[in-house]
Structure 1
């Protein structure tokens, strides 16, 4: 029986199972830690839970137990850690340690992930919850179905979590491979080393080096705001960091004209170049002065090949080197056009693009790649988690 079938069968069992409700303060010991951020040590032996999703390290520990860790401030109701063994705890983070035998700590962890934020929001009507107080935690109602049911729920949710983690690990691996092959295939000046150039003598001698300004230009066209929407307006805020493309825009200008981009243009965020914001257009749209629109003018350059060259770390390092401003550095439009581009013959460019496109699709596509699979798995997990923990 697959995991979905098991989940559906268990949901049917839950509907008829007896459930006792108790306040959290009756089933668990609730307290805070005594450490502060000064106790952080990068090479510490023990996990150090603080007031955020980040887990630091400490050379000393305060607790040796299984517990649920909840930051008392920041990310209220969103951040939970499941601690097992020895750990250190910040003085403004809470530990919830189950003290009754008929409640599974992992079941409680999953339930709080689903229901605690709703509980906090309900208690904060008309105001923003900026911190959690101990009485809030003590009064939080906990369902206690039979222990066997709890254990089955935990087993299924653990499996969903494991599947998602496996996909995330696979995505991280593929992204590393993508970076490696991009560096390798675009290493026409042999900066990587290791004799790469020696094996590609024919390939290298046919490469022509030109500045970006010799093969491309900035878009001079304008587009009216009434032709823009959340899908085709691109501001620096909805370009994603680290070459991750873009998301829907939360703001669309209602008047005036914007810089136009067309299919295959390359859009680069020009504020804080180290964020590596870059996207190749798959439609026509508009943007503002904080985003550069680069359009190819040389028919001997494949647009997708140029995208891969500009998505490389060497370009962003060059951009930062010539950027102006300390707090909010902005790339130099003049210097960017002086960036040197290696241009092999078109057939070679097409081979490079074919290889890198496969990795790009696998690691970034929300319709067919690993991000798509992860999104589906996460949606499935959240659905069953809600159903399995719906005791009200």
Structure 2
């Protein structure tokens, strides 16, 4: 598919009111017979319920009673997910701040409307909410929301195209999930050894440095790369998500935590404890904060082997053991030094690494592999969505 195809699809479609093939702008209230809300409190969900219970969260809960039986678009009316959409056909129930849009008139395709709302509704909500207040939906906002209505045949073709992109992304995401499970299985299998089969060493024995960073007083718009956990994507550092500090702070105040190529960074505090990445040469010079520990291995140690071990259940179990009873999950540097790992022969380490690296690239790499493919497909979808759902406003 190319742009010429889309232009041909929309050829002759204009915003002339009354034109047989034109795009007519209508309020949402004019294209449906039902806009209402649920009646239940958010805590009405039941663990073993048989019907979906839509609240203002992304995914529905379960409940044993239904109040609606139709094909509908469900819209989160408030909270952090305000404007989030779900499509459902069948019996369901809903929270009192969840909006139900259904009973579509013959001139309007429900999935076309779903795609258009998904593309434009949230920005409309924020624009029409009072400044300084938490964004939320009111009934008049939804009823009066303007939607372009091209001929039904055009709506269905737009849906067909966007469905293809959505299906492809869903297939790739399912493939990624399966490959991650496969990777995890083989990693645990390859890194499991019988008692007495291999030598065991502590991380402290294999390193020249284990330390942590410090939070700077100020950040700068550019300068020296400053790595925080937020920059971790899988087991890689996303260069687009790094912060910056000035050179003086880097070389003086944060001298202890100046990073080197192939340092391992691991989160040692908070909800993402255990998340790790290897420092690539491209981001240097760089520094980091106190939530991340820096592990610098000796020159004769296989970096990738140790890295795969740190990502494995050995570290997960070690973290669980050491943070029991702690209000805030936290690993200290002494505990990291004492972390004990199996240490087979160099040849066996190399064999294990060669297998696991392939899985790691496929499931985690942001420059190649499935995550990159998903990102490209999402951008492609967004490009064509913007093209397909952009219609000129009616002239008054």
TM-score (norm 2): 0.86
Q: Which of 233, 237, 260 is the equivalent residue of 2:226?
A: 233
How far 1:149 moved relative to its partner? 1.0
The answer to whether structure 1 residue 188 and structure 2 residue 187 are counterparts is no
TM-score (norm 1): 0.87
Would the aligned equivalents of 2:223 and 2:245 in 1 still touch at CA under 8 Å? no
How is 1:1-392 mapped onto 2 (pairs within 5 angstroms)?
A: 7=6, 9-12=8-11, 14=13, 17-28=21-32, 29-75=34-80, 78-124=83-129, 126-189=131-194, 205=197, 207-219=198-210, 232-239=225-232, 243-247=234-238, 248-249=240-241, 251-254=243-246, 255=249, 256-258=253-255, 259-272=257-270, 275-283=273-281, 284=284, 285-297=286-298, 299=300, 301-323=301-323, 326-392=326-392
Aligned counterparts of 1:141 and 1:221: Cα–Cα separation in 2: 53
Aligned counterparts of 2:289 and 2:137: Cα–Cα separation in 1: 41
- The 1:268–1:135 alpha-carbon spacing in structure 2 relative to 1, beyond 3 Å, is same
Aligned counterparts of 1:96 and 1:50: Cα–Cα separation in 2: 14
Note the residue ranges of structure 2 that are not aligned, 5 or more in a row: 16-20
How far 1:238 moved relative to its partner? 3.2
Q: What root-mean-square deviation, in Å, do the aligned CA atoms of Structure 1 and Structure 2 show?
A: 2.8
Aligned counterparts of 1:264 and 1:15: Cα–Cα separation in 2: 57
Describe the SS at the equivalent of 1:314: helix
How far 1:166 moved relative to its partner? 0.2
Would the aligned equivalents of 1:67 and 1:98 in 2 still touch at CA under 8 Å? yes
Aligned counterparts of 1:317 and 1:229: Cα–Cα separation in 2: 39
Describe the SS at the equivalent of 2:40: coil
- The 1:220–1:366 alpha-carbon spacing in structure 2 relative to 1, beyond 3 Å, is closer
Describe the SS at the equivalent of 2:168: helix
Count of residue pairs the alignment pairs up: 374
- The 1:38–1:117 alpha-carbon spacing in structure 2 relative to 1, beyond 3 Å, is closer
- The 1:237–1:153 alpha-carbon spacing in structure 2 relative to 1, beyond 3 Å, is closer
Would the aligned equivalents of 1:268 and 1:292 in 2 still touch at CA under 8 Å? yes
Aligned counterparts of 1:27 and 1:15: Cα–Cα separation in 2: 19
